[in-house]
Amino acid sequence: MPVFELEQSFAISVLALSFLSGVGSFLHGKRVSRLKGGFMDLMTEITLAIVVGLVVAYMCESEEVDRNITCALVLILSNNGADSLAFLRQSASDGLTRLFNIGGQGK
């Protein structure tokens, strides 16, 4: 049983905003010569944006954030999915380190 359920229209909105952010990130990356501009670069940017968009939607829904704010956060954070995922990964790692007190940082 899922923790929460997204309404179909909201899920479509999150996916559409994430998709548009991925395309925008691809076009900007091509413009500043960060990306070569191939099909795989496009698919990578879109996939990363969708993953970030869904993670943001999940986090916001679990915290009961207003859906308008959630959509804005999805649009902003999925614009550069790789950086957002790296930040989320580092935050999760730091949180787990503090939670389990790993690395001999104290007793």
Res. 32: pLDDT tops 60: yes
CB 42 within 8 A of CB 97: no
pLDDT confidence of residue 104: 54
| pTM: predicted TM-score of the whole model, two decimal places | 0.74
Residue-wise DSSP of 65-92: --HHHHHHHHHHHGGGHHHHHHHHHHHH
Q: Is residue 43 over pLDDT 90? A: yes
Please tell me whether residue 29 adopts helix, strand or coil conformation. Answer: helix
* Distances in whole angstroms, Cα of residue 84 to Cα of each of 19, 25, 35, 36, 61: 15, 12, 18, 21, 18
Looking at the chain, the whole-number percentage of residues with pLDDT higher than 90 is 32
**65: Cβ contacts below 8 Å, ≥ 6 apart:** 73
Over residues 17-29, the pLDDT tens digits come to: 999 999 998 998 8
For the stretch 71-91, pLDDT in tens is: 999 998 888 777 777 787 888
pLDDT of residue 20: 93
Q: Rounded mean pLDDT of the chain?
A: 84
With contact defined as beta carbons under 8 Å apart, do 12 and 44 qualify?
A: no
